[in-house]
């Protein structure tokens, strides 16, 4: 499943469907600032089955994007796969994150994170 954070008129997200079925989390114009609690609860409910097979498509309100990433990582033991648009190649690239990962591949924190 590809969870699209927010509907945006005029943005073609169809290319992301090669990573899975598209599911929109928030309607265009959803205001996190005016109803942060409501939007947070909505995202919690819609992402409660987020797992290693799923992706988040990072589009929409930056606060909503941050909330969705945090919630997806919470439900999936710190791991999340993201889709990032590359303007030059005109395609989405997957990016995997793990907020609990210690650092470099040897398990040691990098110098900038010590």
Q: Which segments of the chain have a pLDDT < 70?
A: 103-114
Residue 71's pLDDT is what? 97
Residue 30's pLDDT is what? 79
Residue 32's pLDDT is what? 77
How would DSSP label each residue in 54-110?
-EEE--S-HHHHHHHHHHHHHHTTTEEEEEEEETTTTEEEEEEEETT--SSTTSPPP
Residue 104's pLDDT is what? 62
Residue 93's pLDDT is what? 95
Task: Single out the residue of 76, 78, 96, 72 nearest to residue 23, CA to CA.
Answer: 72
Contacts (Cβ under 8 Å, ≥6 apart) of 32? 39, 61, 63, 64, 67
Tell me, what DSSP letter sits at residue 41? H
- Tell me the pTM: 0.84
Residue 34's pLDDT is what? 75
- The HSE-up count of residue 83 (CA atoms within 13 Å, CB side) is 23
Task: Single out the residue of 45, 17, 24 nearest to residue 9, CA to CA.
Answer: 24
Residue 33's pLDDT is what? 73
Residue 105's pLDDT is what? 57
Residue 106's pLDDT is what? 47
């Amino acid at each position: 499943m590809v969870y699209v954070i927010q509907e945006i008129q005029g943005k073609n997200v169809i290319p992301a469907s090669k990573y899975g079925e598209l599911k929109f989390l928030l309607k265009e114009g959803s205001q996190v600032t005016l109803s942060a609690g409501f939007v947070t609860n909505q995202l919690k409910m819609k992402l409660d089955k987020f797992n290693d097979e799923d992706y988040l498509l990072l589009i929409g309100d930056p606060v909503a994007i941050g909330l969705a990433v945090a919630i997806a990582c919470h439900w999936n033991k710190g791991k999340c796969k993201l889709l990032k648009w590359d303007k030059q190649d005109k395609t989405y690239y997957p990016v995997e994150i793990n907020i609990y990962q210690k650092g470099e591949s040897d398990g040691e924190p990098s110098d900038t994170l010590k």
